[in-house]
Every structure is written in C-alpha cells, then in structure tokens.
Amino acid sequence: MRGVRGFERPALQWTFVVLAVALIVVASGEAVGLRRARSAIAELRAADLNSRMERQQLETRLAREQAARESFALELGRVRGSVSTTAASEPTLTLTPTVTRRATPPDPTVAVPAPAQSILLRLLVPDSGTRSIDRYAVAVRTWSKGDVVWSRSDLRSSTIDRKTAVTARLTGDVFAPGAYEIRLTNTPEDGPPADVAFYEIAIGQPGS
C-alpha cells in the first residue's frame, strides 16, 4: 500500500495525535454536558409536577374549609333562632352568561355583603339544544389573576320561571370587594369536564 507523502515526518504525526486527543476531549465534554442538561430537565419536570399536585391539594383543602365555614355559619343562624328571618331575607344573586370576556373588569353592581350572610347563587344556563346535563361544578375566580376563591361540585340544574339554572349557597365572606369571574362546567360520568358558561360580577367597596 502506498503511503501518504510527508506523513512520515514526526511533527506532522504529532500534530494529528494532538488534534485527535483534542477532539476526544471536546466530545467527552459535550457528552457530559448533555447528560447534565437532561438530568436538570428531568429534575425541573419533577419539581413542576410536584408543585401542581401541591396546588391541587391546597385548592381541595381550601374548598373543604370554606364549605365547613359556610355550614357552621348557617347552623349558627339556626341555633340563634333566625331561620325564618334568614329564609325570608336571603338574597338571591342571579347571573346571566357573558357572551365575550371584557377587556377590563366590570363595574361594581353589588354591595359588599356581610361575612356571615347566606347568599343563593343562581346561574342561568344557556340553552345548548342538547340533552340536559346531570351534574355541574362552579368555581368563583378573581377576575384579574384567576385565583379560585370558592368552588362547588356535584351540583344539579333546576327549572325556575321556565329557565334552567344551577344554584348553590355561599356566604358573604367569599365576595370581598373586587371583580370576579364565575366558571360553570359540566361533569358527566362518561366523559371529561367541559365549560358550559362564564359569568362576571363586581363587588363594591363598603359605603360606596
């Protein structure tokens, strides 16, 4: 086999040896960096999954605590002998679905209620032309950030004045002054949840 002219010189041979070693070092460094990057990505994904699970647990715990507080407030009213007064004076908050979400928060239209005041929330359901939905879920969220401040599930619809509505009771401490968006979803047994309608409401400052 015919050799390459000039390659027999030691300087040229050492040059190729140094280049080969440099390539090996660079390739090894790239491999180590790639493994570290993959490890960092896996850790970030695990941390994100853990944070989502913790947030869901906190939201569930908050909903349970709110339900317990509302039940206690209603029971306290009964113990004080104000059942008939409460039933007669219990305000009903009836909301219609929004067509499109506003670019700015809605103007206040409801005075701030007393923290222990029982409120009947009535959400009118748009006519979809399909079969009725068995169960609904309601979530009250702050308008600007979308933080859930109150939620209920396993709710059913009823017909009131020839209109289909979903009702739920809550206490006044849910509605601090500010704007809120209410999300109504269906929760069928044979499929995933789906949005039904959205509602908007704004609570004014005390004395306004």
**What is the pTM (predicted TM-score) of this model?**
0.58
Q: For the segment 67-78, what is each residue's pLDDT rounded down to a tens digit?
A: 666 666 655 555
CA-to-CA separations, 188 to 58, 125, 183, 185, in angstroms, rounded: 24, 16, 16, 10
With 50 as the cut, is the pLDDT of residue 87 above it? no
Integer Cα distance of 150 and 69 in angstroms: 12
Q: For the segment 134-171, what is each residue's pLDDT rounded down to a tens digit?
A: 789 999 999 999 999 999 988 988 888 888 899 999 98
Fold of 90-203: Immunoglobulin-like (2.60.40)
Integer Cα distance of 150 and 73 in angstroms: 16
Token couple for 92: 């009903």
CA angle 109, 114, 120 (to 5 degrees): 70
Q: For the segment 37-79, what is each residue's pLDDT rounded down to a tens digit?
A: 888 888 888 888 777 777 777 776 766 666 666 666 655 555 5
With 80 as the cut, is the pLDDT of residue 83 above it? no
Integer Cα distance of 23 and 31 in angstroms: 12
The residue extents of the domains of the chain are 1-89, 90-203
Q: For the segment 170-188, what is each residue's pLDDT rounded down to a tens digit?
A: 989 999 999 999 999 988 7
3-state DSSP call for residue 86? helix
With 60 as the cut, is the pLDDT of residue 96 above it? yes
Token couple for 143: 């308008």
